Chain A
Amino acid sequence: MNVPDYTIALVVAIPLLGAFLTPLVGRINDKLRNIFVILVLTLNAFLVFLLASDVLTTGIKTYVFGAQDISYPIVRILFEVDAMSIFMAIISSILVTVAVIYSWSFMKENTGLDKYYTLILLLTAGMLGMVLTGDMFNFFVFLEITSIASCALIAFWTHKGESVEAGFKYIVISAMGALFVLFAIALLYGQYNALNIALLSSVIQYTFLDKIALVLLIVALAMKAGIVPMHMWLPDSYGSAPSSISIILVSATLASLYGVFRVIFTLYGNVLSKIANFGIPVNVLIGWLIVALAVISILIGVFMALIQSDFKRLIAYGAVAELGYMFLGIGTGIVALGTAYGKTALDGGIFHVINDALDVGLLFLVAGAIYYATKETSLDKLGGLARNMKYTTVFFIIGFLAVAGMPPLNGFASKLLIYESTFQLNPILAIVAILCSILLLAVFVKVFYSAFMGPQLPKFKDVKEVPKSMLFSMGIIACIIVIFGLFPEFIINNLVEPAANALIGYSEYISQVVVGGI
């Protein structure tokens, strides 16, 4: 289906306009404001889906800001949307829309909700901008918007000391990361007089300064994605933010992950495979580095999750492990670029991005539902909730089985792809991945037993099922998880495969902007 080009601009402009209108609407009526925000985000998600159907059928779309055509030399801000960008945009729009529906009841008793919704809309604009832009400096600007909005949202419950601490930690980390990114962009700009990703990618030489820029970009974006040696902020922020924010933060970190992919595959895609260090192509070295980081992430994530007693921190460490699986798939894909199993690994890694977002998101929503009903997140004090909260229990079972990669849910589909491809690279990797997946199942069975099973505790006798809006939003995600699990082939062929091809096919990305290609 064809949509006009300006849909790309509208996808970012509508949340931004909505963000500034929200305080005005909020002065009229609280309910009206909630409806307004949900409408804005649903409309935006609808536009993203229309755009997706267009991009997936007709190929890469570009949009130039402020003028009709790209004028040469390229100085204008350019949005370039390929299958990978739109894949990430779909994840962000689904998660944000669900989170806002969930907030209707979940945040009802809080004050300052005008600011809460304004920040959510700003965060949405930032995330969508990050994944859709085709310009390095623009990417930095949206990265900053995302960081500042998420920092304020993490610290939204200011009466809790932990939230404020987590917010502070997050802003320090993101400010550092953003400065690294800015410095790297300056290094590239100084050498090539260009900020456009496609243009830079076509002229990049892999000089000494480019190497520094590559390291800075990967370190900063991986730090914001929460890969293990740089994951210390992630459990704090995920754990102490309101649950509806945790699920949005999941998609914000995934947007940074997208940045890593874009840098490795597109920005440096042209040079990394052609240059060798110590007789090995550089992209293989980087691939092994990513695989190593991924294995450490999986191990540390799972083992730290084992010893947690706080529900949300436990899920956050689970999310670290899941990030490791994504990186394992992508890393294997880079090492074995060009082979059949490398392609499978890349598919698995990319498919796992959306699966992880949905599974971990659902678990966070369940944790929020339990907090809403009992005002308790410590697993030591919970118990017997399955008697009072039937639906929440069902959603939790779906969520944790999906995260642990049990068939027939979506986590299984993507993890199987990762196992079978990493096994061909090195059997030990696959064994570690499978064992950690089983451990993850054990962790969540423990949670399931201590929170939902067992005798009814006297203090939770009057606990009621959570309100309908929360059940509805959990239900949406659970449905998507089950559908993805039952028809993985359909999703892989129509959504994941084009995204993987878009990552590998950097020359097509370049030729959309640079005349004559490379």
Chain B
Amino acid sequence: MTKMSKIVRTIASIAFPFAMIYGLYVIAHGHLTPGGGFQGGAIAASACAMILVAFGSKWTLDKIKEKRLSVFESLGGIGFIAIALLGLVFGAAFFNNFLTGSNFLFGTIPATGSGLADINTGGVLPLMNFAVGLKVIVGLFVIVLVMAYAATSFKEDKK
């Protein structure tokens, strides 16, 4: 994929932080609002894909190594399973929500009834959302990146 015109690149650069922050917001508020790790991850990955389309696959591959991305993808997966296993160590069972009610990280139990949401709730749910979010951002981005790279090399082969 070759890079697009300067107008597109500039607009993409301006829009990128907003799209990225929105994606991260959806991940971080996954236990409070609709959405979560996967949905937010998909939004953030689409922001990365926008950069890829605007700047071309060659430029992106110069900046980011595909192998390094797959390490982050594994870290997301490991994080998810590790939190589940910690439930076995500190709590009662595999996948146990051992943080809730502990007054530690995300440990508050929310008040019942209508009111403003408290982000410091949910126990291990937000942490699992972060892990899934990391995995989805990197995973989807790698897929798009590899496809763009394959399309480029296919075109060059044809020439």
Contact surface of A with B, Cβ cutoff 8 Å: 6, 9-10, 13, 16-17, 19-24, 27, 63-68, 77
CA distance A22 to B74 in the complex (A): 8
The answer to whether A6 touches B94, judged by C-beta atoms less than 8 angstroms apart, is yes
Task: Give the chain B neighbours of A65 by CB distance below 8 A.
Answer: 93-95
CA distance A194 to B70 in the complex (A): 38
The answer to whether A66 touches B97, judged by C-beta atoms less than 8 angstroms apart, is yes
The answer to whether B78 touches A68, judged by C-beta atoms less than 8 angstroms apart, is no
Instruction: Given A9-B93, A66-B97, verify A17-B71 contact (CB < 8 Å).
Output: no
The answer to whether A20 touches B94, judged by C-beta atoms less than 8 angstroms apart, is no
Instruction: Given A20-B81, A21-B78, verify A66-B71 contact (CB < 8 Å).
Output: no
Some 13 contacts from A to B, beta carbons below 8 A apart, are A6-B93, A6-B94, A16-B81, A19-B77, A21-B74, A22-B74, A24-B71, A24-B75, A24-B78, A65-B94, A65-B95, A66-B97, A67-B96
Task: Give the chain B neighbours of A6 by CB distance below 8 A.
Answer: 88, 93-94
Most buried by A among B67, B73, B81, B88: B81
B20 touches A (CB below 8 Å): no
Q: Interface readout for B28-47 with A: 1 if CB under 8 Å, 0 if not? A: 00000000000000000000
CA distance A21 to B97 in the complex (A): 23
B140 touches A (CB below 8 Å): no
Task: Give the chain B neighbours of A66 by CB distance below 8 A.
Answer: 87, 93-97
Shortest distance from the beta carbon of B87 to any chain A beta carbon, whole Å? 7
The answer to whether A13 touches B84, judged by C-beta atoms less than 8 angstroms apart, is yes
Shortest distance from the beta carbon of A187 to any chain B beta carbon, whole Å? 26
The answer to whether A17 touches B97, judged by C-beta atoms less than 8 angstroms apart, is no
The answer to whether B74 touches A9, judged by C-beta atoms less than 8 angstroms apart, is no
Task: Give the chain B neighbours of A27 by CB distance below 8 A.
Answer: 67, 71
Q: Interface readout for B86-117 with A: 1 if CB under 8 Å, 0 if not? A: 01100011111100000000000000000000
CA distance A27 to B73 in the complex (A): 14
In the A-B complex, the 7 residue pairs with the closest CB atoms: A20-B77, A9-B94, A68-B92, A66-B95, A20-B78, A17-B81, A23-B74
The answer, among B70, B93, B97, for a CB contact under 8 Å with A23, is B70
The answer to whether B93 touches A68, judged by C-beta atoms less than 8 angstroms apart, is yes
B4 touches A (CB below 8 Å): no
Most buried by A among B70, B74, B95: B74
Query: For the complex, would chain A's binding face be called helix, strand, loop or mixed by DSSP majority?
Result: helix
The answer to whether B85 touches A13, judged by C-beta atoms less than 8 angstroms apart, is yes
CA distance A6 to B93 in the complex (A): 7
Task: Give the chain A neighbours of B78 by CB distance below 8 A.
Answer: 17, 20-21, 24
The answer to whether A63 touches B93, judged by C-beta atoms less than 8 angstroms apart, is yes
Task: Give the chain A neighbours of B15 by CB distance below 8 A.
Answer: none
B147 touches A (CB below 8 Å): no
Given contacts A16-B81, A65-B93, A68-B93, 20 further A-B contacts (CB under 8 A): A9-B88, A13-B94, A17-B81, A19-B77, A20-B77, A20-B78, A21-B74, A22-B74, A23-B73, A24-B75, A24-B78, A27-B71, A63-B93, A63-B94, A64-B93, A66-B94, A67-B92, A67-B93, A67-B96, A77-B95
The answer, among A10, A17, A24, A77, for a CB contact under 8 Å with B82, is A17
Shortest distance from the beta carbon of B131 to any chain A beta carbon, whole Å? 10
Task: Give the chain A neighbours of B84 by CB distance below 8 A.
Answer: 13
Of residues 59 through 83 on chain B, the ones whose CB sits less than 8 Å from some CB of chain A are 67, 70-71, 73-75, 77-78, 81-82
CA distance A77 to B94 in the complex (A): 11
Closest chain B residue, CB of each to CB of A24: B74
CA distance A64 to B91 in the complex (A): 13
Task: Give the chain A neighbours of B93 by CB distance below 8 A.
Answer: 6, 9, 63-68
The answer, among B73, B81, B92, B97, for a CB contact under 8 Å with A13, is B81
The answer to whether A20 touches B85, judged by C-beta atoms less than 8 angstroms apart, is no
Closest chain A residue, CB of each to CB of B80: A20
Closest chain B residue, CB of each to CB of A69: B92
Task: Give the chain B neighbours of A22 by CB distance below 8 A.
Answer: 74
Task: Give the chain A neighbours of B74 by CB distance below 8 A.
Answer: 20-24
Task: Give the chain B neighbours of A68 by CB distance below 8 A.
Answer: 92-93
CA distance A13 to B96 in the complex (A): 14
CA distance A77 to B93 in the complex (A): 12
Shortest distance from the beta carbon of A482 to any chain B beta carbon, whole Å? 38
CA distance A20 to B87 in the complex (A): 19
Shortest distance from the beta carbon of A149 to any chain B beta carbon, whole Å? 13
CA distance A161 to B85 in the complex (A): 41
CA distance A12 to B82 in the complex (A): 13
Shortest distance from the beta carbon of A286 to any chain B beta carbon, whole Å? 36
CA distance A251 to B153 in the complex (A): 38
The answer to whether A17 touches B70, judged by C-beta atoms less than 8 angstroms apart, is no
